[in-house]
Amino acid sequence: MKALVTRLDNFGDVLLAGPAVRAVAARAETVTLLCGPQGAPAARLLPGVDEVLVWDAPWAGFQPPEVRREEIDALVAAVAAVEADTALILTSFHQSPLPAALLLRLAGVRFLAADSEDYPGSLLDVRHHRAPHAHEVEAALDLAEAAGFPRTDDGRLRVLPPPPAGGLTGPPGYVVVHPGASVPARAWSPERCAQAVRALAAAGHRVVVTGGAGERELTAYVAGDRGLDLGGRTDAAELAGVLAGAACAVTGNTGPAHLAAAVGTPVVSLFAPVVPAERWRPYGVPYVLLGDQRAPCAGTRARQCPVPGHPCLDDVTALDVVAAVGKLVEVA
C-alpha cells in the first residue's frame, strides 16, 4: 500500500502531524507528505516520510495564492504520479478537508479519511469527528486509527537526528530564547524578550537567541551583549540541533516550540490565548505555560492583538520567565 498524508499549513502544524505520519508509515510501503511551502522544512525532518510534495494551497496560509487552473492541474498530476492507494487529510479544528479531498479524488486516490463536520458527499470514505478538546497530535492520531493506522509507539513528537550544534553554541546546557512568531498576536514584545535575556544571564544561564533569516534585527536587539545571537544562522535541521542542546527553550506558540518538544527539550511557552492551549501547547515534554489564558482575545484566532497593550503576554515579566526556566531545568 502507498499512502499520502496531507498537512497544508505551517511548520509547527507539520511537526504535530509527525506521530500520525509514523503510524501510517508502520503499515504503508511508502509515505508521501503533501504540505505547503512553510511546512516543507519540517516535513523533511519527519521520520517515516519517503517523499515530500510541496504545494501552496489557495485555502491555507496567511497569504494564500490566487486559484490558478494550471497549478491545480499540476498538483493533480503530481499526486496521480505517486499512485497512492489511501490518503489521510490532516487539518486544524477550524479547517475543512473537503477542498483537498476533491483534488485527491481527481488524482485517483481511492480511500480518503479526514475529520469533517461538513457533509462530505462522496469525497471521504472515513468521515471522522475529532474529540472536542483534543490536542492536535491526539486528533491526528485518532484519525489515523479510524483510517486503519493505529499508533505503534509512544506518540511523542520526533525528528530525524539533527546535526551537532556545538560549533555554533558551545557546550550544551544553555537556554534558548526564540522571540519571533509567524503571527504578531502570539509574540512577546521585543522589549520583554530582551529583558528576559538579561535576567536569565544575571541568574547564571548561558542564553542563545534564535530566529529566521528575516529576524536578524530582532534577534540582535534581543540578544544584546548578554546572549549569543544566532538569528538567520540556522536552517530547520540546525535549529533542531541547537534546541536539542538546550536545557530549556523560551518561545511563543510557534514552530520552534514544537521543534523543541520534538528533540525532548522542555519549553517555557509564552502562549497567547488566541487559539486554545489545550490544542496547541507543547506536547510530550515538561512545560510551563505563561500568559493570561482568559484574556479578551481568547479563542479569536486574531493575527494582530485586538487588545491595547497586548496584556495577555506583555503582563508576563522577565522574572516570571526566569522562575519558569528554573522549574523546568530542575526537573528536566
State the pLDDT at residue 300: 82
Kindly calculate the radius of gyration of the chain based on its CA atoms and give it in whole angstroms.
20
Q: How far apart are CA 269 and CA 254, in angstroms?
A: 9
Backbone angles phi, psi at 294, to 5 degrees: -110, 15
Consecutive H or E run containing 302: none
Amino acid 310: pLDDT: 85
Which pLDDT belongs to residue 321?
98
- For residues 221-226, give the mean pLDDT: 98
Q: Is residue 157 part of a domain?
A: no
* pLDDT value, residue 239: 98
Q: Does the pLDDT at position 332 exceed 50?
A: no
From residue 263, how far is each of 8, 15, 157, 201, 282 by CA, in Å? 23, 11, 8, 24, 12
Inform me whether the pLDDT recorded for 331 exceeds 60: no
CA nearest to 32, candidates 56, 4, 11: 4
Is 175 part of a structural domain of the chain?
yes
What integer is the mean pLDDT of 296-312? Answer: 83
Evaluate if residue 294 carries a pLDDT over 90.
Answer: no
Residue 89 lies in a domain: yes
User: What was the pLDDT predicted at 93?
Assistant: 81
pLDDT mean across residues, the chain: 95
In a domain, 197, yes or no: yes
Provide the pLDDT confidence category of residue 311 given band limits of 50, 70 and 90: confident
Strand order of the β-sheet with 207-209 is: 228-229, 207-209, 174-178, 246-252, 267-270, 287-290
Confidence of residue 94 (pLDDT cuts 50, 70, 90): confident
Claim to verify: residue 82 and residue 119 sit in the same structural domain: yes
From 263, 259, 270, 256, select the one nearest 209 (Cα to Cα).
256
**Average pLDDT value for residue range 308-313:** 86
Judge if 141 and 178 occupy the same domain: no
C-beta of residue 250 within 8 angstroms of C-beta of residue 175: yes
- Render pLDDT for 16-53 as a digit per residue (tens, 0 to 9): 999 999 999 999 999 999 999 999 999 999 999 999 99
- Tell me, yes or no, whether 186 and 319 share the same domain: yes
Same domain, 43 and 96: yes
- Per-residue pLDDT of 162-221, as tens digits, reads 999 999 999 999 999 999 998 888 889 999 999 999 999 999 999 999 999 999 999 999
153 falls within a domain: no
Same domain, 6 and 108: yes
With a cut of 90, say whether residue 244 has pLDDT above it. yes
Residue 293 and residue 296: Cα distance in Å, rounded? 9
Same domain, yes or no: 88 and 210: no
* Strand-pair partners of 53: 34
Residues 6+ away with beta carbon under 8 Å from 256: 176, 178, 210, 239, 243, 249
Q: How many domains does the chain have?
A: 2
Q: Which residues have C-beta within 8 Å of that of residue 222, sequence separation ≥ 6?
A: 177, 179, 190, 193, 194, 197, 209, 229
Same domain, 174 and 221: yes
Last residue of a domain, one of 117, 146, 175: 146
Percent of the chain with pLDDT over 90: 86
Residue 272 maps to which CATH number? Answer: 3.40.50.2000
Closest to 148 (Cα-Cα) out of 28, 33, 8, 14 = 28
Determine, yes or no, domain membership for 154.
no
**Which range of residues forms the domain containing residue 315?**
166-331
Residue 22 lies in a domain: yes
Residues 65 and 135 in one domain: yes
- If asked whether residues 178 and 105 sit together in one domain, one would say no
Check whether residue 32 and residue 87 sit in a common domain: yes
Residue 274 has pLDDT above 90, yes or no: no
Considering the entire predicted model, what is its pTM? 0.95
User: Which residue type occupies 155?
Assistant: G
Which pLDDT score, from 0 to 100, does residue 58 have?
95
Residue 46 has, within 13 A of its CA and on its CB side, a CA count of 35
Could you tell me if 76 and 200 lie in one domain? no
SS3 177: strand
| Cell numbers 490532516: residue | 90
With respect to residue 161, please indicate whether it lies within any of the assigned structural domains: no
Same domain, 248 and 306: yes
Which of 3, 287, 23, 12 is CA-nearest to residue 155? 23
